[in-house]
Structure 1
Amino acid sequence: MTGRVAAVNIGVVTEAAWAGDASGRSGIDKRAVDGPVAVLTDGLAGDFIGERAVHGGPDKAVYAYAEEDAAWWSAEIGRSIRSGGFGENLTTYAIDVTGAVIGEQWAVGTAVLQVTMPRTPCTTFAGFWGVPDLIRRFTVRASPGAYLRVLSEGEVGAGDPVEVVDRPAHGVTIGEVFRATSLEPELLPRLLDADDLPEPIREKVRRRLTSRG
């Protein structure tokens, strides 16, 4: 499967009452940039990340969202959504982000990235959009985008191919993880088949399964 990068987006510093970190600053406002951008182990060069307790880090170094899903939201809320409007670093096209398997590897530009986990909607996201019930609507839609870890540093630019070069056999997808941890807890046992799912999530799954008996 091969798609492409529609845009590469870098966060700017936004100060607002809805911003998530203690200083009232957020990096959710990502802007498309021209030319190649360095992809480093901890994210894209120049990207601002505000609340590092819940954003960024090796397992969430890069965030990808599909242009096709953005188009659905544009029609849903009746306004255009530019690239980076979901706080994504990579706006993708013709690659199934929701159906991406945990642990699958993407060759993007000269970098190699690995799918790790879905994005969880937050109040900062709702505040940025000015849609009070966005968390509920985003959860029901269940097209959360994918966080990626960097296996091999490189550069990425708009128009670069996104090629799936390895896909684990367990088949646990981004969409399945999101639904299991939000609206469909009956799916939780499946998640433990995904060895590349970050350990904090695996531990939460184990605790929830234990509490259910």
Structure 2
Amino acid sequence: MKIISTNIGERKEVISHGKKVVTGIFKYPVDGPIFLDFEEVKGDEVSDKKYHGGIEQAVYGYSLKHYEYWRPLYPALDWTLGMFGENLTIDVLDETQIHVGDTFKVGNTILEATLQRSPCHKLGIRFKDMKIVKQFWNTTKCGVYFKVLQTGCITIGDDFQQIKSCSDNPTIADLLIKKKKEKGI
């Protein structure tokens, strides 16, 4: 696996359903390395720290391969990497094969898979269509949150190399399915 794009976003205020919403979901590719710290990607906006960021969700990765699934469903969008709010766009990231605790070396960082992305209305804001939220729940293309075990910089082209497997643990897709059932979706 390889890093295809590194993405960060700024604080943005938008109006959704008549209410002002502050979000950091509008992430865009950056040139040069980004620094992954223990609780965040330096320079990246995390507006709702109750549900995003922090030790267990310091970095969000999403698969470039998943873009092939979504693009035909939203052909009118101006597609760019970072569309899903991910910090790392990775060529192939399969949530059905990545287990909680799996560990990866990327650049001079070490990342551990921790959680699934549970979609919220801010994804709908980014896509200009709230139906994406339900569609997202109905796939296993949720992306992966990572804990940063070793801080450092990463850049486009870095290998995303698995160094530890925890195959006895649930997969990231399993977590999404469990969360969906808990929410009654």
Which residue pairs with 1:57 in the alignment? 54
Answer yes or no: is the 8 Å Cα contact 1:70–1:81 preserved in 2. Answer: no
Is residue 37 of structure 2 the alignment partner of residue 40 of structure 1? yes
Could you say what secondary structure the match of 1:43 adopts? coil
Is residue 114 of structure 2 the alignment partner of residue 113 of structure 1? no
Question: 5 Å matches for 1:6-17?
Answer: 6-17=4-15
State the shift of 1:38 in Å: 1.1
State the shift of 1:116 in Å: 0.3
Question: Cα RMSD between the aligned structures?
Answer: 2.0
Deviates more, 1:153-162 or 1:169-178: 169-178
Question: Structure 1-normalised TM-score?
Answer: 0.79
Answer yes or no: is the 8 Å Cα contact 2:115–2:172 preserved in 1. Answer: yes
- Same amino acid, percent of matched pairs: 27
Task: Structure 2: state its 5+ residue gaps.
Answer: none
Answer with 1 or 2: which has the greater Rg.
Answer: 1
Could you list the per-position Cα deviations for residues 69-128 of structure 1 after superposition, in whole angstroms to 9, with x for gaps in the alignment?
A: 122101222245311000000000134244211110011111000000100110111122
Higher relative contact order (CA 8 A, sep 6+): 2
Answer yes or no: is the 8 Å Cα contact 2:35–2:41 preserved in 1. Answer: yes
Spell out structure 1 runs of 4+ moving beyond 3 A. none
Answer yes or no: is the 8 Å Cα contact 1:65–1:97 preserved in 2. Answer: no
Which amino acid in structure 1 is aligned with residue 59 of structure 2?
A: V
Report which of the two has the higher share of helix: 1
Aligned residues: 181
Which amino acid in structure 2 is aligned with residue 65 of structure 1?
A: Y
Answer yes or no: is the 8 Å Cα contact 2:61–2:86 preserved in 1. Answer: yes
State the shift of 1:23 in Å: 6.8
Query: Residues 23 and 75 (structure 1 numbering): CA distance in 2 closer, same or farther, change over 3 Å?
Result: closer
State the shift of 1:131 in Å: 1.2
Which residue pairs with 1:201 in the alignment? none
Distance 1:76 1:56 in 2: 28
State the shift of 1:171 in Å: 4.2
Could you list the per-position Cα deviations for residues 165-197 of structure 1 after superposition, in whole angstroms to 9, with x for gaps in the alignment?
A: 1011314101111012214x7xxxxxxxxxxxx
